Chain A
Amino acid sequence: MKDKTFKMFSFHCVHQYILKLSSAVLICFILIFNNCVQHEKTTGSPPFVISQEQVSSFVRNFNPLIPSGSSRWPTVSGIYEPLFIYNSMTGIYVPWLATGYEWKDGNLQLDVTIRENVTWSDGQPFTAYDVSYTFNLKKTNAALDPRASWGYLKSVEAINDHLVRFKFLRIFVPGLHALTEQSIIPKHIWENIDDPVKFTNPNPVATGPFTEILRFDHQIWELGRNPHYWQEGKPAVERLRFYAYPTNEQATIALINGEVDWAGNFIPAIDRVFVGRDPENHHYWFPRVGGSIFLYVNTTKQFLDQVEVRKAISLAINRELIVRVAMYDYTIPAHPTALADGLAPWRSPTATENGDWVEYDIERANEMLDNAGFKKGPNGIRLLPDGKELFFDISIVSGWSDWIRAAQVISQNLKLVGINTRVKTRDFGAWLSSMQNGEFDMGIAWTEKGPTPYRLYRGLMSSEFLKPVGETAEVNWHRFASDEVDSLCVAFEKTSDKEEIKQIIYRMQEIFVDNAPAIPLFAEPSWGQYNTKRFTNFPTEKNPYAQISPNYPPENLLVLVNVEPK
Chain B
Amino acid sequence: MSTSIQYLLRRLGFYAIAAWAALTLNFFIPRMMPGDPASIIFARFRGKLNPEAMVALRETFGLTDEPLLGQYFTYLKNLLSGDLGISIAYFPQPVTEIISTALLWTIFLAGTSLIISFSLGTLLGTLAAWKRGGRLDSFLPPALAFFGAFPYFWLAMVALFTFGFGLGWFPLRHAYGDAVTPGFNLPFMIDAIYHAFLPALTMVMVSLGGWMLSMRNTMITTLGADYITFARAKGLPSKMVMLKYAARNAILPNFTGFGMALGFVLSGALLTEIIFSYPGQGYLLLEAVRAQDFPLMQGLFMTITLAVLGANWLVDIAILFLDPRTRR
Q: Taking beta carbons and an 8 Å cutoff, which residues of A are in contact with B?
A: 2-3, 6-7, 10-11, 14, 26, 29-30, 32-33, 36-37, 39-40, 55-57, 59, 61, 63, 66-70, 142-148, 151, 178, 197-200, 217-220, 243-247, 250, 253-254, 257, 291, 428-430, 432-434, 436, 446-449, 455, 459, 465, 472, 474-475, 552
Q: Are B191 and A36 in contact (CB under 8 A)?
A: yes
Q: Are A432 and B52 in contact (CB under 8 A)?
A: no
B4 within 8 A of A: no
Number of A-B contacts (CB under 8 A): 192
A449 surroundings in chain B (CB, below 8 A): 47-48
B51 surroundings in chain A (CB, below 8 A): 448, 459, 465, 474-475
Q: Are B136 and A10 in contact (CB under 8 A)?
A: yes
B7 within 8 A of A: no
* Bound CA span A455–B52, Å: 12
B324 surroundings in chain A (CB, below 8 A): none
Q: Are B40 and A200 in contact (CB under 8 A)?
A: no
Q: Are B60 and A143 in contact (CB under 8 A)?
A: yes
Q: Give 27 pairs: A residue, B residue, CB < 8 Å, sorted on A.
A: A10-B136, A33-B191, A36-B180, A40-B179, A56-B284, A57-B279, A59-B98, A63-B92, A66-B92, A69-B41, A69-B45, A70-B92, A143-B59, A143-B60, A146-B57, A148-B50, A199-B92, A217-B181, A219-B175, A219-B176, A246-B277, A257-B172, A428-B290, A436-B35, A459-B47, A472-B39, A474-B54
B60 surroundings in chain A (CB, below 8 A): 66-68, 143-144, 197
Closest to B44 in A: A69
* Bound CA span A37–B177, Å: 9
Least CB distance from A47 to B in Å reads 10
* Bound CA span A37–B91, Å: 34
Q: Are B194 and A33 in contact (CB under 8 A)?
A: yes
B89 within 8 A of A: yes
Q: Mark contacts of B189-208 with chain A using CB atoms, 8 A cut-off: 1 yes-contact digit, 0 otherwise.
A: 01101100100000000000
Q: Are A250 and B173 in contact (CB under 8 A)?
A: yes
Q: Are A246 and B35 in contact (CB under 8 A)?
A: no
B239 within 8 A of A: yes
* Bound CA span A200–B98, Å: 14
A465 surroundings in chain B (CB, below 8 A): 51
Least CB distance from B21 to A in Å reads 25
* Bound CA span A504–B115, Å: 70
Set A14, A30, A432, A434: member contacting B169, Cβ < 8 A: A30
B326 within 8 A of A: no
* Bound CA span A429–B180, Å: 39
Q: Are B171 and A33 in contact (CB under 8 A)?
A: yes
Sorted from nearest, which 3 A-B pairs have the closest CB atoms? A146-B53, A148-B52, A474-B51
B258 within 8 A of A: no
Q: Are B40 and A432 in contact (CB under 8 A)?
A: yes
Known contacts A3-B238, A57-B102, A59-B90; is-contact A432 B59 (Cβ 8 Å)? no
B127 within 8 A of A: yes
Q: Are A245 and B173 in contact (CB under 8 A)?
A: yes
* Bound CA span A440–B50, Å: 23
A475 surroundings in chain B (CB, below 8 A): 51
Closest to A429 in B: B35
Q: Are B238 and A220 in contact (CB under 8 A)?
A: no
Closest to B292 in A: A429
Least CB distance from A118 to B in Å reads 27
Known contacts A33-B191, A56-B279, A246-B274; is-contact A148 B56 (Cβ 8 Å)? yes
Least CB distance from B162 to A in Å reads 14
Closest to B120 in A: A18
* Bound CA span A67–B50, Å: 11
Closest to B98 in A: A59
* Bound CA span A474–B91, Å: 21
Q: Are B135 and A142 in contact (CB under 8 A)?
A: no
Q: Are B178 and A11 in contact (CB under 8 A)?
A: no
B89 surroundings in chain A (CB, below 8 A): 70
* Bound CA span A459–B52, Å: 11
Q: Are A474 and B39 in contact (CB under 8 A)?
A: yes
B283 surroundings in chain A (CB, below 8 A): 56, 246
